């Protein structure tokens, strides 16, 4: 098996970042779950839904960065493969959210590069701390993402089945990733770490809704 140099890894990381941040650079492997739905929204509803979907898109950018950072520093090959596979599956979410934003004549968050950089660093640090903590970090991240998704589903206009179908499938996938991480040996993170993650998540959601 080929051994990649440090330069190779940096180039690969840069390519991953571009694919996560540049609109249209990522395509879904699975069919969009909202493909068969047809929804017409009032202007005020469309604006609110666009804000929610922008938050969810940024959350998926952060998830990509976390998995990329963890894969780079993971110690065990099987854990590294788990992180890489999870990142591939999350690409579907990234593409689905971007498609919905285009339909709503809106845009992705201008702050995504900032959140990607921060999340990549957090993921790399989690990997350095050890694989059981890295997997625990994934489980806690996915738990918090699921809570956000459930809240957004409740906020959707009743007749917006397109957005609802996307968020429901995303939530199902996030819970699966959480369970996979726990079954692979992930441990509960210390309370201060969980609180800090929640605080950062709140800042991200509030800013990404508007910017």
Binding-site residues for Fe cation, in ranges, read 60, 90, 93, 142, 174, 177
69/82 Cα distance (integer angstroms): 13
> Could you please report the per-residue DSSP string of 150-210?
HHHHHHS-TT-HHHHHHHHHHHHHHHHHHHHHHHTT--PPPHHHHHHHHHHHHHHHHHHHH
What is d(CA 95, CA 77) in angstroms, rounded to the nearest whole number?
28
**Which of 147, 172, 130, 211 minimizes the C-alpha distance to 33?**
172
Binding residues: 60, 90, 93, 142, 174, 177
Which distant-in-sequence residues (6+ apart) come within 8 Å of 192 by Cβ? none
């Amino acid at each position: 098996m080929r051994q990649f140099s440090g330069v190779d890894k940096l180039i690969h990381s840069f390519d991953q970042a571009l694919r996560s941040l540049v609109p249209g650079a990522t395509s879904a492997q699975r069919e969009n779950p909202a493909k068969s739905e047809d929804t017409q929204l009032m202007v005020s509803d469309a604006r609110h839904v666009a804000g929610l979907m922008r938050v969810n898109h940024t959350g998926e950018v952060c998830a990509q960065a976390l998995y990329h950072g963890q894969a780079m520093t993971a110690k065990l090959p099987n854990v590294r493969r788990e992180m890489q596979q999870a990142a591939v599956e999350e690409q579907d979410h990234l593409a689905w959210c971007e498609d919905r934003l285009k339909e709503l004549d809106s845009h992705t968050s201008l702050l995504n590069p900032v959140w990607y950089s921060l999340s990549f660093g957090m993921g790399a640090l989690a990997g350095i701390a050890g694989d059981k903590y890295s997997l625990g970090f994934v489980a806690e991240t996915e738990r918090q993402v699921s809570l956000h998704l459930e809240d957004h589903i409740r906020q959707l206009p009743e007749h917006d089945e397109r957005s609802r179908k996307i968020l429901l499938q995303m939530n199902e996938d996030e819970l699966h990733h959480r369970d996979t991480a726990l079954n692979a040996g992930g441990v509960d993170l210390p309370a201060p770490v969980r609180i800090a993650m929640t605080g950062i998540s709140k800042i991200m959601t509030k800013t990404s809704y508007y910017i």
